[in-house]
Amino acid sequence: MHDVIVVGAGPGGSTAARHLARSGLDVLLVDRARFPRDKPCGGIARPGIVQLVGERVHEAVEARIRRHRVFLDGRPVAECRDSALLFRRTRLDALLVDIAREEGATIMEGAQVESVDLSTSGVARVLLRDGTELAALCVVGADGAYSRVARSLGLAGGPLRARRGDIAVRFESDVPRSIVEGLLGPPEEARRGSYFQVGLLGMGWAFPKEGGLNVGMGVGGMGGTDLLPRARRFLADLGLERYAPLLRGEHIPCELLPRVTADRALLVGDAAGAANPMTGCGIEDAMKTGVLAARSLSRVLGRGLEPTADRLASYEASLGTLRRIQHLRGLGLELVGRLQRRGLVTEPWMARSLRLMARFDVDSFVWTDPARF
């Protein structure tokens, strides 16, 4: 029997496994995929991710950008100068799994988790689709927006559609250099800039990657779910209509579940609902929840105690700031959505709002100081 089974080897799960293994625990990290594997994502994170991963994260960096140009329905309205790192998830996630393995975690790839059973006192049982049963003192659910761990434990909080979140689609591919330069400028500018196209019902982006672009669109709390037709129009406006068949979608839950812990179990990353409701970004937040979950769990197991929900309360408490920030951002998006539906949001109003937002110090939106991690 293992000390901890972590279900899901994305940024949150791999980070939790790494820190748990580092503390001397027997950790099994399970994922249905085999790495490297792709995942729909913009692949953007702030430089603070270096403090979460270490210098090795640079092995996975595709580009470093320092300028974000914002357009409203094709008209430039704002420019924000702020640093960000860009990744392909195939490289970043594989790197994080390798680091967890090097810290002592055992990795099980190609293993689909069917359910989690906590009915036996003192044991968390994880049932795989092939009938294999695994056992541990505790389970960490890091298996994404449609978390089987959360649903098995009754933590999912009702239908996913009832949770505030982003619906996003994107493609990532090599594209002609002329299109890249048309969006992001000459080669030197293109390597350091991003493109955001904001409309009244969603936001599109274009990020430079090695030899190509990551292009996508999301609606957040402002629009409906009919995103694919809008994403196709967005690609056509950029001269990228030939890439429409490559579009892939993802639901990004951007509201923490009411509870993210149970007896012998806790949730991190998208399984917990930890992403940013304004942007849908969730890589750093997933990793932070992984660190905080590992700390709380290590303290309990390190003392030989059973990891009950009461004893894991420190993890719930550590997410308080994120809950408050998500709530405020979500309220803002809901307000914009209501005003849109009543025809009260105009392009001039949106332009002024975007210019105002571009003046903010983006660091002020970081929910906890990366140096703490």
Cis peptide before 307 (omega within 30 of 0): no
- Pairwise CA distance, residues 326 & 263, whole Å: 26
- Pairwise CA distance, residues 234 & 197, whole Å: 9
Q: 3-class DSSP state for residue 160?
A: helix
Which CATH class name applies to 2-63+87-163+255-329? alpha beta
Backbone angles phi, psi at 217, to 5 degrees: -155, 145
Residue showing tokens 């609606």: 219
- Pairwise CA distance, residues 257 & 239, whole Å: 40
Q: Which of 44, 2, 8, 360 is nearest to 206 (CA)?
A: 44
pLDDT tens figures, 7-53: 999 999 999 999 999 999 999 999 999 999 988 888 999 888 998 99
Give DSSP secondary structure letters for 257-325.
Answer: -S--EETTEEE-GGGTT-S-TTT---HHHHHHHHHHHHHHHHHHHHTT----TTTTHHHHHHTHHHHHH
Res. 115 pLDDT band, cuts 50 70 90:
very high
Check whether 370 has a pLDDT greater than 50: no
Q: 3-class DSSP state for residue 242?
A: helix
Contact between residue 283 and residue 49 where contact means Cβ atoms under 8 Å apart: yes
Q: Which of 282, 286, 285, 308 is nearest to 296 (CA)?
A: 308
Check whether 68 has a pLDDT greater than 70: yes
pLDDT tens figures, 158-182: 554 445 566 788 888 888 888 888 8
Kind and range of the H or E element at 338? helix 320-341
Burial of 228 (C-beta count, 10 Å sphere; 0-12/13-18/19+): middle
What is the pTM assigned to this prediction? 0.89
Contact between residue 63 and residue 191 where contact means Cβ atoms under 8 Å apart: yes
Structure tokens that stand for 163 in this block: 């949770």
The residue among 190 and 136 whose pLDDT is bigger is 136
Q: Where are the alpha helices (DSSP H) in 27-88?
A: 49-53
Looking at residue 165, its pLDDT comes to: 63
pLDDT tens figures, 116-136: 999 888 899 999 999 999 999
CA distances from 117 to 76, 127, 262 (A): 53, 8, 12
- Pairwise CA distance, residues 336 & 350, whole Å: 10
Looking at residue 293, its pLDDT comes to: 96
The residue among 115 and 201 whose pLDDT is bigger is 115
- Pairwise CA distance, residues 77 & 367, whole Å: 27
Structure tokens that stand for 260 in this block: 């993210």
